[in-house]
Amino acid sequence: MVSSQSAEITQRRMSAVSRTTRKGTGEESPDSGTSVSDIRVLSSDDIGLAYRRWRYFKNYSEYINEQASKIRQTSHKISTEIVSLNAKKEEVAKQKAAREKEMGTLRGEEAEALKLSKNIATQEKDLKRRLEDQRRAVERINKQIEKIIAEQAKKDRQRRKETPNLPQADKALSASFAGNRGQLPWPVKKGVITKKFGQQYDPVFKNLKLAPNNGIDITTEENSAALCVFGGIVRQIFMIPGANNCVMVQHGEYYTLYCKLSTVKVKVGDRLSTGQVIGTVYSTDETVLHFEIWKAQDTGNPVKLNPELWLKK
């Protein structure tokens, strides 16, 4: 009786465990609805061992489900990262293509700049060569004019020695000329000083010395007349390549020189008054009169003076 009751109780407990296992794991036999876990649990002779087996399979099932969930999450994360990396990869490719295009443009510009630099260097070399040629030409003109004035001053000193009253007349004229320093009229009616007296430097190559200017250059209007700045005597008329026609006028111990004339209206020995026309200023692309003032010395060569300080402001 007792054994029958014990067996009945055990049967009920095992049925309950079987039902619980099928709900928890979903493992049922395809034919009878009984799960594999139930079969494994029911195969145990002891109810405690059966329960422990059931708990093991249940935990294992939960672990498998949890791992599967993690795998799905990881897979989703990896897929998302792959999409992001592909997008970044495309952006990097675009940037690389843009940089390569920019580098191509820069290389082209660099080549053009190098070519331009070489052209500029060649042009600079040619320009410096032409400036050097001009410097030598101006120095040659300066030396020729200095020589002519020195010879004329020497002649005038000799003439003063030979003519008793001439020294006093020259001194009076010289004093009158000197007294008009800063008040002399301009040698043209309208003009502006475009090259000053003394050492000259190239306006582009600042450290490049040009030939010194023994006078001043005055840019004026086309067909302008060159005018005598003070009363005196025409001592010489000569022509120098690069300076065209030149007229030298003596004012006692002083001399004024008018160069770059296309025509001359006076002759040697003429006595000129202030403002009298000497000739016409030569014109090319521009019209420039070269004007100098010199002072004779008792001994030695004449001294060149800055005409700008003698002309009226």
- Res 258: pLDDT: 98
Write down the H helix ranges in the chain.
2-25, 36-42, 47-162, 166-179
Averaged pLDDT, 171-194: 94
**pLDDT(199) > 50:** yes
Judge contact between 287 and 272, C-beta under 8 A.
no
Position 202 scores a pLDDT of 78
Per residue in 53-74, pLDDT tens? 888 888 888 888 988 899 999 9
pLDDT band at 108 (very low <50, low <70, confident <90, very high): confident
**Which among 281, 185, 287 is positioned nearest to 228, based on CA atoms?**
185
CA 155 to chain CA centroid, Å, is 57
First to last CA, the chain: 153
Percent of the chain with pLDDT over 70: 85
Is 261 strand, coil or helix?
strand
Region 227-252 average pLDDT: 95
Residue with tokens 């005196």: 232
d(CA 104, CA 126): 33
For the chain, give the mean pLDDT: 84
Q: Tokens at residue 75, please?
A: 């897979």
Asked if 210 and 127 count as a contact pair (C-beta separation under 8 A), the reply is no
Instruction: Find all residues with CB under 8 Å of 186, minimum gap 6, and list them.
Output: 218, 227, 229, 311, 312
Asked which of 18-32, 92-106, 172-186 is least confident by mean pLDDT, the reply is 18-32
| pTM of the complete model beyond 0.85 | no
DSSP state of 228: -
Task: Enter the tokens of residue 146.
Answer: 């200095």
Domains in the chain, ordered, with CATH? 123-309 (2.70.70.10)
CB 249 within 8 A of CB 283: no
State yes or no: pLDDT of 77 exceeds 80: yes
CA–CA separation, 129 and 121 (whole Å): 12
More confident call, 36 vs 152: 152
Specify the pLDDT at position 14.
47
- The mean per-residue pLDDT over the stretch 86-115 comes to 89
Tokens found for residue 194? 């475009």
pLDDT of residue 225: 97
Q: Which of 9-18, 149-158, 208-217, 264-273 has the highest mean pLDDT?
A: 264-273
Cα-based angle 227, 228, 231 (whole degrees, multiple of 5): 155
